[in-house]
Amino acid sequence: MSAGLFITFEGGEGGGKSTQARILAERLRAADHEVVLTREPGGSPGAEALRNLLLEGDADRWSPLSETLLMYAARRDHLERTILPALTAGKVVVCDRFYDSTRAYQGAAGGVDPGVIAALEDAVVGRHAPDLTLVFDLPVETVLARAAERGAAEARFESKGRAFHERLRAAFLEIARREPARCVLIDADRPVEAMSDAIWTAVEASLSKAILR
Ligand code: TMP
Protein backbone atom coordinates (compact mmCIF):
# COMPACT_ATOMS: atom_id res chain seq x y z
CA MET A 1 0.00 0.00 0.00
CA SER A 2 1.45 3.38 -0.91
CA ALA A 3 -0.76 6.06 0.59
CA GLY A 4 -1.83 4.72 4.00
CA LEU A 5 -5.30 4.81 5.47
CA PHE A 6 -6.67 7.29 7.99
CA ILE A 7 -9.39 5.90 10.30
CA THR A 8 -11.06 7.94 13.06
CA PHE A 9 -13.30 6.91 15.96
CA GLU A 10 -15.98 9.40 16.96
CA GLY A 11 -19.04 9.74 19.20
CA GLY A 12 -20.12 10.96 22.62
CA GLU A 13 -18.86 9.67 25.96
CA GLY A 14 -18.82 6.10 27.26
CA GLY A 15 -19.29 4.23 23.97
CA GLY A 16 -16.11 2.16 24.29
CA LYS A 17 -14.26 3.95 21.45
CA SER A 18 -10.81 3.66 23.01
CA THR A 19 -11.20 -0.08 23.66
CA GLN A 20 -12.38 -0.62 20.10
CA ALA A 21 -9.55 1.47 18.67
CA ARG A 22 -7.06 -0.77 20.51
CA ILE A 23 -8.79 -3.95 19.31
CA LEU A 24 -8.75 -2.67 15.73
CA ALA A 25 -5.05 -1.76 15.92
CA GLU A 26 -4.23 -5.30 17.13
CA ARG A 27 -6.34 -6.88 14.42
CA LEU A 28 -4.69 -4.77 11.71
CA ARG A 29 -1.21 -5.65 13.01
CA ALA A 30 -2.16 -9.33 13.00
CA ALA A 31 -3.05 -8.84 9.32
CA ASP A 32 0.47 -7.40 8.72
CA HIS A 33 -0.41 -3.72 8.51
CA GLU A 34 1.83 -1.12 10.09
CA VAL A 35 -0.39 0.81 12.49
CA VAL A 36 -0.13 4.05 14.42
CA LEU A 37 -2.70 4.18 17.23
CA THR A 38 -3.21 7.74 18.38
CA ARG A 39 -5.78 10.09 19.93
CA GLU A 40 -7.06 13.65 20.13
CA PRO A 41 -6.64 15.97 21.78
CA GLY A 42 -3.06 14.73 21.87
CA GLY A 43 -1.00 12.32 19.80
CA SER A 44 2.25 14.34 19.65
CA PRO A 45 4.28 15.84 22.53
CA GLY A 46 2.96 19.38 21.95
CA ALA A 47 -0.61 18.24 21.50
CA GLU A 48 -0.43 16.09 24.65
CA ALA A 49 0.67 19.19 26.60
CA LEU A 50 -2.35 21.03 25.18
CA ARG A 51 -4.55 18.03 26.11
CA ASN A 52 -3.68 18.54 29.77
CA LEU A 53 -4.66 22.22 29.53
CA LEU A 54 -7.91 21.30 27.80
CA LEU A 55 -9.12 18.42 29.95
CA GLU A 56 -8.18 19.60 33.44
CA GLY A 57 -9.92 22.17 35.59
CA ASP A 58 -13.45 23.54 35.88
CA ALA A 59 -16.12 22.95 33.22
CA ASP A 60 -16.03 26.66 32.30
CA ARG A 61 -12.24 27.04 32.29
CA TRP A 62 -12.29 27.81 28.54
CA SER A 63 -14.96 29.41 26.41
CA PRO A 64 -16.12 27.19 23.53
CA LEU A 65 -14.23 29.39 21.03
CA SER A 66 -10.98 29.29 23.03
CA GLU A 67 -11.42 25.54 23.31
CA THR A 68 -11.87 25.30 19.54
CA LEU A 69 -8.65 27.22 18.91
CA LEU A 70 -6.69 25.09 21.38
CA MET A 71 -8.11 21.90 19.82
CA TYR A 72 -7.00 23.15 16.41
CA ALA A 73 -3.51 24.09 17.60
CA ALA A 74 -3.20 20.57 18.99
CA ARG A 75 -4.66 19.07 15.79
CA ARG A 76 -2.17 20.86 13.55
CA ASP A 77 0.78 19.66 15.60
CA HIS A 78 -0.63 16.12 15.66
CA LEU A 79 -1.12 16.14 11.88
CA GLU A 80 2.35 17.51 11.13
CA ARG A 81 4.30 15.33 13.51
CA THR A 82 2.35 12.07 13.77
CA ILE A 83 -0.48 11.55 11.28
CA LEU A 84 0.95 12.81 7.98
CA PRO A 85 4.38 11.16 8.34
CA ALA A 86 2.66 7.83 9.12
CA LEU A 87 0.27 8.10 6.14
CA THR A 88 3.13 9.04 3.84
CA ALA A 89 4.98 5.92 5.00
CA GLY A 90 1.93 3.84 4.00
CA LYS A 91 0.79 3.08 7.55
CA VAL A 92 -2.76 2.79 8.87
CA VAL A 93 -3.52 5.59 11.35
CA VAL A 94 -6.20 4.74 13.91
CA CYS A 95 -7.19 7.93 15.73
CA ASP A 96 -9.46 8.10 18.77
CA ARG A 97 -11.40 11.33 17.97
CA PHE A 98 -10.62 13.95 15.31
CA TYR A 99 -12.37 16.96 13.78
CA ASP A 100 -15.93 15.64 14.08
CA SER A 101 -15.51 15.97 17.86
CA THR A 102 -14.88 19.72 17.43
CA ARG A 103 -17.96 20.03 15.20
CA ALA A 104 -20.07 18.22 17.80
CA TYR A 105 -18.64 19.39 21.16
CA GLN A 106 -17.58 22.97 20.44
CA GLY A 107 -19.95 23.56 17.49
CA ALA A 108 -23.31 21.86 18.01
CA ALA A 109 -23.14 21.55 21.80
CA GLY A 110 -20.92 24.57 22.57
CA GLY A 111 -22.46 27.08 20.17
CA VAL A 112 -19.34 28.00 18.15
CA ASP A 113 -20.25 29.28 14.69
CA PRO A 114 -20.08 26.35 12.24
CA GLY A 115 -18.52 28.74 9.69
CA VAL A 116 -15.55 29.35 12.00
CA ILE A 117 -15.11 25.62 12.49
CA ALA A 118 -15.38 24.94 8.74
CA ALA A 119 -12.73 27.61 8.06
CA LEU A 120 -10.38 26.00 10.58
CA GLU A 121 -11.00 22.58 9.02
CA ASP A 122 -10.07 23.96 5.62
CA ALA A 123 -6.97 25.77 6.82
CA VAL A 124 -5.66 23.12 9.20
CA VAL A 125 -6.82 19.75 7.84
CA GLY A 126 -7.50 20.62 4.19
CA ARG A 127 -7.34 17.53 2.00
CA HIS A 128 -6.18 15.27 4.84
CA ALA A 129 -9.70 14.28 5.91
CA PRO A 130 -10.14 10.77 7.34
CA ASP A 131 -10.79 7.97 4.84
CA LEU A 132 -13.13 6.23 7.26
CA THR A 133 -14.91 7.51 10.38
CA LEU A 134 -16.63 5.11 12.77
CA VAL A 135 -19.35 7.04 14.58
CA PHE A 136 -20.33 5.37 17.86
CA ASP A 137 -23.95 5.87 18.83
CA LEU A 138 -25.41 5.29 22.28
CA PRO A 139 -28.70 6.38 23.91
CA VAL A 140 -28.10 9.25 26.35
CA GLU A 141 -29.59 7.19 29.22
CA THR A 142 -26.81 4.66 28.73
CA VAL A 143 -24.16 7.40 28.44
CA LEU A 144 -25.23 8.85 31.80
CA ALA A 145 -25.52 5.45 33.49
CA ARG A 146 -22.02 4.45 32.35
CA ALA A 147 -20.55 7.79 33.47
CA ALA A 148 -22.12 7.32 36.92
CA GLU A 149 -20.69 3.78 37.15
CA ARG A 150 -17.21 5.07 36.33
CA GLY A 151 -17.52 7.96 38.81
CA ALA A 152 -16.54 10.11 35.85
CA ALA A 153 -17.26 13.49 37.42
CA GLU A 154 -13.55 14.38 37.38
CA ALA A 155 -13.38 14.88 33.63
CA ARG A 156 -14.34 18.39 32.49
CA PHE A 157 -16.23 17.18 29.46
CA GLU A 158 -18.19 14.49 31.26
CA SER A 159 -19.51 16.77 33.98
CA LYS A 160 -21.92 18.54 31.61
CA GLY A 161 -25.67 17.84 31.74
CA ARG A 162 -28.15 15.65 29.87
CA ALA A 163 -29.08 18.35 27.32
CA PHE A 164 -25.41 18.63 26.35
CA HIS A 165 -25.22 14.88 25.70
CA GLU A 166 -28.47 14.99 23.70
CA ARG A 167 -27.05 17.73 21.47
CA LEU A 168 -23.84 15.77 21.02
CA ARG A 169 -25.68 12.63 20.01
CA ALA A 170 -27.80 14.52 17.47
CA ALA A 171 -24.70 16.23 16.05
CA PHE A 172 -22.79 12.98 15.51
CA LEU A 173 -25.85 11.35 13.92
CA GLU A 174 -26.16 14.33 11.58
CA ILE A 175 -22.48 14.11 10.57
CA ALA A 176 -22.91 10.39 9.76
CA ARG A 177 -26.08 11.13 7.78
CA ARG A 178 -24.46 13.92 5.76
CA GLU A 179 -21.23 12.12 4.93
CA PRO A 180 -22.17 8.52 4.19
CA ALA A 181 -19.10 7.94 2.00
CA ARG A 182 -16.78 8.62 4.96
CA CYS A 183 -18.86 7.64 8.01
CA VAL A 184 -20.16 4.30 9.28
CA LEU A 185 -22.56 4.39 12.23
CA ILE A 186 -21.72 1.86 14.96
CA ASP A 187 -24.42 0.84 17.45
CA ALA A 188 -22.43 1.05 20.70
CA ASP A 189 -25.16 -0.51 22.84
CA ARG A 190 -23.84 -4.01 22.09
CA PRO A 191 -21.24 -6.43 23.43
CA VAL A 192 -17.59 -5.61 22.64
CA GLU A 193 -17.21 -8.48 20.17
CA ALA A 194 -20.28 -7.62 18.10
CA MET A 195 -18.96 -4.06 17.81
CA SER A 196 -15.46 -5.10 16.82
CA ASP A 197 -16.83 -7.38 14.10
CA ALA A 198 -18.93 -4.53 12.65
CA ILE A 199 -15.86 -2.28 12.73
CA TRP A 200 -13.70 -4.88 11.01
CA THR A 201 -16.24 -5.23 8.18
CA ALA A 202 -16.14 -1.44 7.61
CA VAL A 203 -12.33 -1.34 7.77
CA GLU A 204 -11.88 -4.23 5.34
CA ALA A 205 -14.08 -2.39 2.83
CA SER A 206 -11.95 0.76 3.20
CA LEU A 207 -8.71 -1.19 2.86
CA SER A 208 -9.93 -2.72 -0.41
CA LYS A 209 -10.82 0.72 -1.75
CA ALA A 210 -7.41 2.09 -0.69
CA ILE A 211 -5.62 -0.68 -2.60
CA LEU A 212 -7.58 0.22 -5.75
CA ARG A 213 -6.92 3.94 -5.60
P1 TMP B 1 -11.64 11.19 25.63
O2 TMP B 1 -10.21 10.85 25.85
O3 TMP B 1 -12.60 10.63 26.60
O4 TMP B 1 -12.08 11.00 24.22
O5 TMP B 1 -11.71 12.72 26.04
C6 TMP B 1 -11.45 13.74 25.24
C7 TMP B 1 -12.49 14.80 25.55
O8 TMP B 1 -12.22 15.91 24.72
C9 TMP B 1 -13.90 14.33 25.24
O10 TMP B 1 -14.76 14.71 26.27
C11 TMP B 1 -14.27 15.10 24.01
C12 TMP B 1 -13.38 16.31 24.05
N13 TMP B 1 -13.03 16.84 22.74
C14 TMP B 1 -13.63 18.00 22.32
O15 TMP B 1 -14.44 18.59 23.02
N16 TMP B 1 -13.30 18.50 21.08
C17 TMP B 1 -12.40 17.88 20.25
O18 TMP B 1 -12.13 18.36 19.14
C19 TMP B 1 -11.79 16.66 20.71
C20 TMP B 1 -10.78 15.96 19.85
C21 TMP B 1 -12.12 16.18 21.96
Over the stretch 66-100, which tens digit does the pLDDT of each residue have? 999 999 999 999 999 999 999 999 999 999 999 99
Distance 169 CA to ligand 1 centre (A): 14
In this predicted structure, the answer to whether residue 207 has a pLDDT above a threshold of 50 is: yes
Peptide bond into 41 cis (omega under 30): yes
- The verdict on domain 5-212 having CATH code 3.40.640.10 is no
Q: Compute the distance from residue 114 Cα to the ligand 1 centre, in Å.
A: 18
b/e map 111-145, b = 16+ CB within 10 Å? ebeeeebeebbeebbeeeebbbbbbbbbebeebbe
In tens, the pLDDT along 142-187 reads 988 888 887 755 455 556 788 999 999 999 999 999 999 999 999 9
Question: Cα–Cα distance between 153 and 159 in angstroms, integer?
Answer: 5
Give the β-pairing of 132-137 and 92-96: unpaired
Ligand 1 pocket: which of 75, 101, 150 to mutate (most atoms within 8 A of CB): 101
pLDDT at 34: 98
Q: Is the pLDDT of residue 55 over 50?
A: yes
Region 179-202 average pLDDT: 97
C-alpha torsion 164→37→79→165, nearest 10? 0
Q: What is the pLDDT of residue 154?
A: 47
Please tell me the distance from the alpha carbon of residue 142 to that of residue 15, in angstroms, as a whole number. 9
**Chain mean pLDDT for the chain:** 93
Residue 135 makes CB contacts below 8 A (sequence gap 6+) with 10, 11, 100, 172, 173, 175, 176, 183, 184, 185, 186
Distance 40 CA to ligand 1 centre (A): 7
Q: Could you tell me the distance, in angstroms and rounded to a whole number, from the CA of residue 101 to the centre of ligand 1? A: 6
Give the ligand 1 atom nearest the CA of 54.
8
- Lowest-pLDDT range of 25-34, 46-55, 134-143, 152-161: 152-161
> Which residues does residue 133 pair with via DSSP β-bridges, in sequence order?
8, 183
Secondary structure letter of residue 91 according to DSSP = P
**65, 111 in Cβ contact below 8 A?**
no
The response to whether residue 6 sits with its C-beta less than 6 Å from ligand 1 reads no
Question: Partners of 186 in the beta sheet?
Answer: 136
pTM: 0.95
- Atom from ligand 1 closest to the CA of residue 98: 20
Q: Is 33 in the pocket of ligand 1 (CB under 6 A)?
A: no
Check residue 59 and give its pLDDT. Answer: 80
pLDDT of residue 146: 85
What is the predicted pLDDT for the residue at 62?
95
Distance CA(157)–CA(102), nearest Å, equals 12
